[in-house]
Every structure is written in structure tokens, then in C-alpha cells.
Amino acid sequence: MECERGQTKWQFRQKSSFTAGNLAVRAVVNKVMENVDNSNGKPIIALGNGDPSKFSCFRISERAEDAIVSAVRSAKYNGYAFSAGMPCARSAIAEYLNKDLPYKLSPDDVYATIGCSQAIEILLSVLARPGANILLPRPGYPYYEARAALSKLEVRHFNLVPERGWEVDLDNVYALADENTVAMVIINPGNPCGNVLSYPHLKKVR
């Protein structure tokens, strides 16, 4: 704040290069695709497709669409929801996940977020404490490193092994983990490699 002739002048300034649109990784992918030279007639495979809705096989079921429409039309859910998710949604999620789990989740174990970024925000803030470290996959999704730095969590990278379908290098994990390790991040299906870890391998990780 600066005072000029007895008046208060705010110092907010627009930073032209800083907009929500050009911060997204999608903006970088689009820029790369715009600059690809396709004059030699070779087919171009876009490896930056992150949106499944572009493919008809990923269309959600009519039942799910109808449920969304009827929830909107009912006007029962227009208010301010619980920040951890609506109780009925959390019960439904717990019930669904319980089909495949060797233990039982209660609705209180479920925290619904508006996407992975919010989940990362919440989890890393909760896990951070002085001296703590977190194990992240390499290669991985960069937001985890950025958010860990914000919470002053030490990051330790474990390798994914390309020759074994990007499985976790378990020896590497054993070597890195210690009593201050608060979590290990498994991205499955993997980003950026797109691999899916097998159940036997996931059991070993657990």
C-alpha cells in the first residue's frame, strides 16, 4: 500500500504471464501439438490425451446420468454440502469399496473431494509434521512434489521399473523408508506411464 497526496493507493498489479489457463499442463500439451510439423504426412499419435470423455467407450451409464438428472431436479441437494461429502454419497462409496476390500470401511472413513488435487491438498496437509518424509514414485505426477514442498514434507523418490511394466522397485522402497515416513504414493493406473499394477504386485507393496 502506498500513500500519495493523502490518498491510499493499492499496489496490486496484474502479472501478465500468470493466468489459470496457461498454468495448466494441458496448455503446454496444446502448445506442443500446435507446433508439431505434420508436413511429411506421417500420422501423429497424441500421447497427451487425458480426457476419457473423448472416447465413446468411457461414456457413463444411462443409470448414472439419470441419477444425476433426478438429483438436480429434486432440488434436495442445492444447499451447502458437508465439506467431507454428503452422508448418502459417503455411505454409497463405502458400500461400493467394501465389495473388494479385506476389511470394512464405514462412511466416516470416506472423504469425498472434487478431484485428486483437493485430495492431495488435504492428505499432505494432514500428514505433514516436522521431520516427516513421503515416498513418491519416479516417474510420477509432479503436483505431489509441489504440494509436499509447501507443507515442508521431505520427498524421497522410489523408482518404477520400465522393464517390469513400471512396477514399484520394492528394494528401493525398503532402502528409503524409515520411522519418519508418513506415506507412500501409488498412482494406479500410472501417470505418466499409463501402466496398471497387477493385484499380486500390489499385495507385495502393501
Interaction site with ligand PLP (CB under 6 A): 50, 115-117, 141, 143, 187, 191
Min dist CB 116 to ligand PLP, Å, is 3
Min dist CB 170 to ligand PLP, Å, is 20
Q: What are phi and psi of 114, to 5 degrees?
A: -90, 40
- Residue 165 or 192: which CB sits closer to ligand PLP? 192
* Whether the Cβ atoms of residue 25 and residue 31 lie closer than 8 Å to each other: no
Min dist CB 169 to ligand PLP, Å, is 18
The residue sitting closest to ligand PLP, measured at its beta carbon, is 115
Cα separations (Å) of 134 from 114, 128, 160, 176, 194? 23, 9, 16, 10, 22
Q: Which residues contact 170 (CB under 8 A, 6 or more apart)?
A: 204, 205
- Residue 111 or 141: which CB sits closer to ligand PLP? 141
Min dist CB 143 to ligand PLP, Å, is 6
Q: Measured between alpha carbons, how far is 95 from 16 in angstroms, rounded to an integer?
A: 48
- Residue 112 or 180: which CB sits closer to ligand PLP? 112
Bridge partner list, 136:
157
- Residue 19 or 118: which CB sits closer to ligand PLP? 118
- Residue 153 or 187: which CB sits closer to ligand PLP? 187
Min dist CB 114 to ligand PLP, Å, is 8
Nearest to 122 by CA among 85, 88, 90: 85
